[in-house]
Amino acid sequence: MSAFIVLGAQWGDEGKGKMTDYLAESAEVVVRFQGGNNAGHTVEVEDKQYKLHLIPSGILYGDKLNIIGNGVVLDPKSLFEEIDYLEDLGVKVTPDNLMISDRAQVVMPYHRILDGVKEKSRGKNDIGTTGKGIGPCYTDKAERSGIRVCDLMHTDVFKEKLQKNIEIKNDIITKVYGGNTLDFNAVYNEYLGYSKKLKPFVKDISVEVFNDIKSGKKVLFEGAQGTFLDIDYGTYPYVTSSNTIAGGVCTGAGVGPTMITNIVGIAKAYTTRVGKGPFPTELFDKTGDWIREKGHEYGVTTGRARRCGWLDLVILKTSARVSGLTSFAVTKIDTLAGLEKVKICVGYKMGSKVIDYVPASLEDLAECEPIYEELDGWDESIENSRSYDELPENAKLYLKRIEELTHTKVSIVSVGPKRDQTIRVSEI
Ligand code: GDP
Ligand code: IMO
Ligand code: MG
């Protein structure tokens, strides 16, 4: 029995798409369990680059089953655009290789509108969301007024729920935020079209995943976003609206925790963040700019420049704890080649105390000063290294320090965006 989780250990964009694709080679099933098309996962296979938002990164193999779990918020417009995009690139997406949970919440046009107007109304306190309607859709889920995929399959139920929702949302959009009303018939007809197209893909995915794991198939759960964007353990309120940590798999795919065998935290060799919110090791100098350019740190979903900083082991240690990581996969270590010195944050100084966890209060976190350890860098470019032994000694020392300070092994080292630019150090 094996069920692996791949999840982001920082603020997203750690290389989950690449690592999922790499690990999916030995899996039969790949499952997304939270988030929506706010995610932007890049996979490079041979000369082609693929950008995925909703569809699991196992889709590129053709013969893997890909599942969109109940914890995902599904924007059907975005889904069908992504299917068209993949088909244009020669990737087939059919009910044989894609399954969608009947319990997944549906992103509606009013969610996207509300995301925009709410952000605008926050002024300088905006979160910097992706604008995809993610927060408002999860709000409706928690408020119990959401529309689920199974509702779309029953047109009368859908009509009734939509009528109620549009009436209330139009009131909020116009009266609270001064926006424009949505037309019921236009939305209804648009989604009736999606309903027909979705039908062949829709299943009870918890049953499917359970049977797959029990029958000995390898199932890989692909996280979106990262630990510090988690609604509970992230830097609230500068987070996304779902549980990005390992626990999210249980609720987002209907899988019991005892079925999970390995949990890999994907950690970039430095830190990035897109959108607003605290980032203790952020660099505002030339080194930060150098990392951004060398690492092409621009968002896949929004194109925004990513904020860059040193590796923060307080972040990684916390991630290992809250998700019970069995190992780390360290990505983009090739990007750091050429720096004379590299720094890693080994603790925070908070007033007179030294701590190795992330405080809940943003006011306390703002007081935290990173304590750095400085290591010698390496000059040798390493994108062609294919074994641990081939890595420069100083890169190995850097990886060793991660293991020592987080008490978690590094099982995989990624030295470039392509499938084969990956070094397997040990079992995950
Ligand atoms: P995700 O959201 O976690 O899947 O990550 P993104 O796709 O948003 O961003 C990661 C970027 O780094 C993508 O452009 C990947 O192709 C690229 N990438 C992944 N692993 C490596 C690596 O080890 N080295 C380099 N140079 N690029 C990588
Ligand atoms: P992947 O899966 C990086 C960030 C947004 C914003 C916050 C809330 O590619 O790692 P939301 O639209 O979710 O309400 O925005 O979360 N964010 C991400 N940052 N990578 C992502 O996904 C992200 N998805 C959301 O920038 O700060
Ligand atoms: Mg991304």
Q: Cα(427)–Cα(418) distance, rounded to whole angstroms? A: 20
Structure tokens at 224: 């979106």
The amino acid that residue 326 corresponds to is T
The amino acid that residue 145 corresponds to is S
Of 22, 415, 41, 413, nearest to 226 by C-alpha is 41
What's the pLDDT score for residue 302? 86
Report how far apart, in Å, the C-alpha atoms of 376 and of each of 271, 331, 340, 345, 397 are: 18, 19, 6, 14, 9
What's the pLDDT score for residue 326? 98
Mean pLDDT, residues 122-143: 97
Point out the catalytic residue in the list 132, 141, 218, 317: 141
Domain 3-101+202-262: CATH architecture, name and number where available: 3-Layer(aba) Sandwich (3.40)
Report how far apart, in Å, the C-alpha atoms of 294 and of each of 87, 144, 212, 301, 308 are: 31, 45, 41, 19, 11
386: pLDDT strictly greater than 80 = yes
Give me the CATH topology for the region 268-406.
Adenylosuccinate Synthetase; Chain A, domain 3 (3.90.170)
Mean pLDDT, residues 190-201: 98
> What pTM was computed for the model?
0.98
- Kindly report the backbone phi and psi dihedral angles of residue 313, in degrees, each rounded to the nearest multiple of 5, phi listed first: -80, -15
Strand partners, 68: 32, 100
What's the pLDDT score for residue 381? 87
pLDDT in tens, 219-236: 999 999 999 999 999 999
Mean pLDDT, residues 286-311: 95
- Kindly report the backbone phi and psi dihedral angles of residue 327, in degrees, each rounded to the nearest multiple of 5, phi listed first: -165, 170
Task: Let me know if 214 is a catalytic residue.
Answer: no
Q: Where are the domains of the chain?
A: 3-101+202-262, 105-198, 268-406
What's the pLDDT score for residue 16? 98
Q: Does 41 contact ligand 1 (Cβ within 6 A)?
A: yes
Task: Let me know if 141 is a catalytic residue.
Answer: yes
Q: Are both 105-198 and 268-406 of the same fold?
A: no
Name which residue sits closest to atom 20 of ligand 2, judged by CA. Answer: 12
Strand partners, 6: 222, 264
What's the pLDDT score for residue 301? 85
Mean pLDDT, residues 114-138: 97
Mean pLDDT, residues 294-311: 94
What's the pLDDT score for residue 388? 97
Q: Percent of the chain, pLDDT > 90?
A: 98
Q: Which atom of ligand 2 is nearest to the CA of 38?
A: 24
pLDDT in tens, 31-64: 999 999 999 999 999 999 999 999 999 999 999 9
Taking ligand 3, which is a single-atom ion, which protein residues have CB atoms under 5 Å away? 13, 40, 300
User: What is the DSSP pairing of strand 327-331 with strand 262-268?
Assistant: parallel
What's the pLDDT score for residue 110? 98
Q: Which long-range contacts (CB under 8 A, 24 or more apart) does 367-374 make?
A: 368/280, 369/280, 370/280, 370/281, 370/310, 370/312, 370/314, 370/345, 371/345, 371/346, 371/347, 372/310, 372/343, 372/344, 372/345, 372/346, 373/343, 373/344, 373/346, 373/401, 374/341, 374/342, 374/343
Of 8, 9, 14, nearest to 297 by C-alpha is 14
1: pLDDT strictly greater than 80 = no
Task: Let me know if 102 is a catalytic residue.
Answer: no
CA atoms within 13 A on the CB side of 139: 13
Pick the CATH number of 105-198 from 1.10.300.10, 3.40.718.10, 1.20.140.10, 3.30.470.20: 1.10.300.10
**Ligand 3 centroid – CA 301 distance (Å):** 7
Mean pLDDT, residues 256-278: 97
Mean pLDDT, residues 80-92: 98
- Provide DSSP, 332-343: -GGGGTT-SEEE
Q: pLDDT tier at 313 (50, 70, 90 boundaries)?
A: very high
What's the pLDDT score for residue 27? 97
Q: Does 417 contact ligand 1 (Cβ within 6 A)?
A: yes
Gyration radius from the chain CA atoms: 21
